[in-house]
Amino acid sequence: MRNLAKTNRSIVIFLSMLAILAGCAGHHQHRRPADIQEYLSHLDRPERDEYQQPAKVIEALGVEPGMAIADLGSGSGYFTRRFVQALAGDGTIYAIDVEQEMLDYVQASLKEQAGASVVKLRLAKPDDPVLPPASVDLVFVCNVFHHLENRPAYFEKLKDALRPGGRIAIIDFYHDHRSGDVGFPRRHLVPRETVLSELTQAGFRLLNEHDFLKRQYFLEFGL
């Protein structure tokens, strides 16, 4: 009987270790696109403008010269380049990504754009945006929220990066039929209500919600 009890305890310990390791993997594993170049081309496709309405998004956020903006998960630089145009050479844009290849693509896409000197490329960690303290007026998170792990803790870190009156803007696809074909299973998407809950948990409050994007929610948060 003692041997049986010892065996059972060993099994319980082993299963517990597996659960811990699985949990750690879930929080730290970065889902890298299988083909980054194909992924970047997809992000920059011209027809994206139809549903993304970038000019209207930038207008709604009140982006103007002199601002400091963090484009979190900048990807292809789709919004980074548009922020450059809106700042007109006066301000700062942190283009942040966890993939160096994506940052290289952004840098190459900015070579011919006037005012691109305002852009600072930042190679981030999956759990850390590596922004300096009190460095930005706006953290912009478009189609990236569902990629982040342990989000309340992640956004807790972003508090120090915000200047007084700073905001976090989150745009992401609805998790239901409204999003249309997103190119991957909808179960990976995060419901709007979960965003509200997790940002509240991180110490933020909802400041504004825009409803002109048909496939995505568009939320602004502050402290």
pLDDT of res. 171:
98
Q: Which tokens is 199 given?
A: 């940002």
The DSSP letter of residue 54 is H
Q: Which of 205, 223, 203 is nearest to 156 (CA)?
A: 203
β pairing state of 92-97 and 216-222? unpaired
Q: For residue 101, which phi and psi values (nearest 5 degrees)?
A: -60, -35
pLDDT of res. 179:
84
Q: How far apart are CA 184 and CA 69, in angstroms?
A: 29
- pTM of the predicted model as reported, rounded to 2 decimal places: 0.82
Q: What is the dihedral of CA 197, 202, 162, 82, to 10 degrees?
A: -40
Q: Which amino acid is at 157?
A: K
pLDDT of res. 186:
78
| Per-residue pLDDT tens listing for the chain (223 residues) | 444 444 344 433 333 333 333 333 333 344 566 666 666 766 767 788 999 999 999 999 999 999 999 999 999 999 999 999 999 999 999 999 999 999 999 999 999 899 999 999 999 999 999 999 999 999 999 999 999 989 999 999 999 999 999 999 999 999 988 988 877 777 889 999 999 999 999 999 999 999 999 999 999 999 9
Q: Which of 114, 102, 94 is nearest to 43 (CA)?
A: 102
